[in-house]
Structure 1
Amino acid sequence: MIVINARFLTQDTCGVQRYAEQICLALRQLRDDLVFVAPHGIKNHASAQALQVQCIGRHQGHLWEQLDLPLYLRRNGNPLLLSLSNSNPMFYRNQVATHHDITYVRHPQSYSWRYRAAYRTIMPILLSRVRALVTNSEFSKSEIAGFYRLPKERILILSAAVSEQFMPAASQPEQPYLLAVSSPNLHKNFRRMIQAFLSLRGQPDLQLHIVGSANSLFADPDLQQLACRDPRIRFLGRLEDAELIAQYQGATAFVFPSLYEGFGIPPLEAQACGCPVLASSAASIPEVLRDSALYFDPLDVQQMAAAMQRLLNEADLRQFLRRKGLANVARFSWRHSALRLSQRLDQLPEPGVQRSSLPRT
């Protein structure tokens, strides 16, 4: 029996939750020895039903993960635990954990001091105990291994992908707009993106649509004020998948200005919907997008604006990037990632093998 930590089904769906959900759904099709457990308070009922999730324990959130889940595991003989979201029971040894990136180290200003302190405390303890670690790119593997002094052979790369409902539309709407999808964490670089948009000339009808939750814990306090300077900038909030897909399908181009990403699912979703992508040249983004995007320096507002202007002016370039984007998306598959994970689970040595090095604090 392998127990899957499905706490992510009690959370709003962002990139981390979508990654865990889709790999779990694909893994379910490959194996019959999986038991999915979660706290009460499921939000994603469709996936919970498909995974046949068992709701256990009395607590929610981190308390459930650190108290109820380990107790359930002990009562069931300490089976292998797989956690595909960013949080895990800290002291449980027989587990495969997931860590997408170390943004809290590289861009600490994006997070509260409590969040940073929690991760900087928990991760060294967790990484000293887990039997293997999952991440989503070569970039993140190098970052995590280098910072925590973790042997690279213990880290398995499982790429994200795009679900089948993300596909091109038959026709394009007449209203031109640029689209950005993310939370407004400081490292997402929305401030410079908005400045670049505001500097464009000769585009009076062009809008900028921003999709994502403006969580007060992470949000740039001046971002809304900056955006209010121009009614063409529209904050759409959190959207359901059907609404999000419609935004991708209708966009003139998708803008991904992030300073740091472990992978970055939104530009792949945009490409799957036939939307050309403008992207930052930072972190893992060129690894994921290769030659299928028009890149810019995310610290250079003028260069970002020039890339926007070029894509708006050149229809042939937009069509070229649409074709490149669709080909790029085809490289990724949730099933393939789940298959690699399943093989790694079967190859794990018996519990109790001594580790050669411990992560630093």
Structure 2
Amino acid sequence: MKIAINNIPLKTAHNTRGVGYYASHLIEYLKQQNLVEVQEFTKLSEIKNADAIHYPWFDLFFHTLPISRRFPTIATIHDVIPLVFPKHYPVGLKGKINLIFQKMALSSCKYIITDSNVSKIDIVKHLKIEPDKVSVISLAADPKYKIINNDSELLNIKRKFRLPDRFLLYVGDANWVKNLPFLIEGFRQLLQLPGFGDIKLVLIGGVFLKNVENIDHPELSSLKSVNRLIKQYSLEESVIRPGQIENNELVVFYNLATAYVQPSIYEGFGLPVLEAFACGSPVISSNQGSLLEVGGQAALYFDPANIKQFLSITKEVLGDKSLRNKLSKLGLIQASKFSWDRVAEETKLVYLKVINNE
């Protein structure tokens, strides 16, 4: 079985984002398990022979998926959040036209893969795809995310980034759906409570060091709000922003964190939650989107519009070591349910369905 997989996400800025992570790991594990013969391509003209082709990425508002093609085609759509919350993701005329073409291209795809049941429901609703053409294949954390027992490795990172003994961790972007102004407000209120004044908040992501105040773009409004709130509340010393760090350093951050927080209004999956689980970090998460699917019984959940509830859960986790140990053990069990071996195997089954016209 010969499958041609589009590798554009590995050659663009997507390489360091979720799309690139998915594409690189899928290709790696399909090859590693010798499940299929993989041919990577950038342009269709590069494909010499294939039983099917797979686009492991999909952009709603850029015309990236060919409408007519020689081979049966599979596309992976990670989420359609801009269609679920259109007011917060304004699209110009060009984007609307591209969406029309992308929908036309999707209609001729044999199969769609997505990361969660929530995303499948959204895809069926907003892109008008038949449910039986959409397969849910959950992602997984990279195996490098694990508990570190080397004290010197932990201490080196702690010293390098001047990390405190107790801190909350967030990893990711800063767009509207991530709900970070809520997190900053909740954190400010947490610091005012007796016994929690020493807690720090660590925000991991290159976006947090960007100077965006003079850039007029709707997608930057949430980041601007975060920066303003940090300044307004004089939290510069309490909120640590290391910027974009190396993956091996991120593993240590997860290990050192007192708890990981995912405050999102919505997620199509929520990979950092699995990464935190795999590193033994207790997880405090929003209960929206796919996060309940990913976290299962291993996280404590809050309504991402309810700061009082967030504070109550966060206080409980920070103040109770036995609870943190319990969540850590549950998280390790939950993370073990997801693997890239399984992702590759289930994706191979989709390829077989497409080739056999099932």
Scaled by the length of structure 2, what TM-score is found? 0.83
Q: Which residue is 1:166 aligned to?
A: 145
Letter of the 1:86 counterpart = F
- The CA distance in 1 between the partners of 2:77 and 2:36, in whole Å, is 25
What residue in structure 2 maps to residue 136 of structure 1?
115
Relative to structure 2, which stretch is displaced further, 341-350 or 151-160? 341-350
Q: Deviations over 1:143-182 (max 9, x none)?
A: 1112222111111111100111111122576621000011
1:192 aligns with 2:177: no
Q: CA deviation at 1:110?
A: 4.7
Instruction: Figure out how many residues of one structure are paired with residues of the other and give that number.
Output: 320
From 168, 172, 177, the counterpart of 1:178: 168
Give the letter for the 2:172 counterpart: S
Q: Which residue matches 1:6?
A: 7
**Structure with higher helix content:** 2
The secondary structure found in structure 1 opposite 2:322 is helix
For structure 1, which segment, 230-239 or 184-193, has the greater mean C-alpha deviation from structure 2 after superposition?
230-239
* 1:212 Cα deviation after fit: 1.6
**Partners of 2:253 and 2:355 in 1: CA distance:** 46
Runs of at least 4 residues off by over 4 Å: 171-174
Identity of matched residues, %: 27
**Normalization by structure 1: what TM-score?**
0.82
Match of 2:346 among 306, 328, 340: 340
Equivalent residue, structure 2, for 1:20: 23
Stretches of structure 1 lacking an aligned partner (at least 5 in a row):
39-68, 354-361
In structure 2, the partner of 1:56 is none
2:47 counterpart of 1:37: no
**8 Å Cα contact 1:136-1:158 kept in structure 2:** yes
Deviation string 1:310-331 (CA, Å, 9 cap, x unpaired) is 1111111111100000000010
Task: Quote the residue 1:89 is aligned against.
Answer: 65
Q: Deviations over 1:92-132 (max 9, x none)?
A: 44311011111011223554524963663343112211110
Look up the equivalent residue of 1:102 and give its one-letter code: V
- Between 1:311-320 and 1:115-124, the stretch displaced more is 115-124
Tell me how large the CA RMSD over aligned residues is. 2.2
Matched, 1:102 2:108: no
Q: State the alpha-carbon separation in 1 of the partners of residues 97 and 10 from structure 2.
A: 22
Please tell me the residue identity of whatever aligns with 1:22.
H
Counterpart-to-counterpart distance in 1, 2:81 and 2:112? 17
| Unaligned 5+ runs, structure 2 | 159-163
- Aligned to 1:113, the other structure's residue is in SS state coil
Q: Find the aligned partners of 1:317 and 1:147 in 2 and give their Cα distance.
A: 40
**Greater Cα offset, 342-351 or 154-163:** 342-351
Contact 2:170 2:202 in 1 (8 A): yes
Following TM superposition, by how much is the alpha carbon of 1:138 offset from its aligned partner in structure 2, in angstroms? Answer: 1.1
Matched, 1:225 2:228: yes
CA contact (8 A) 2:51 2:355 kept: no
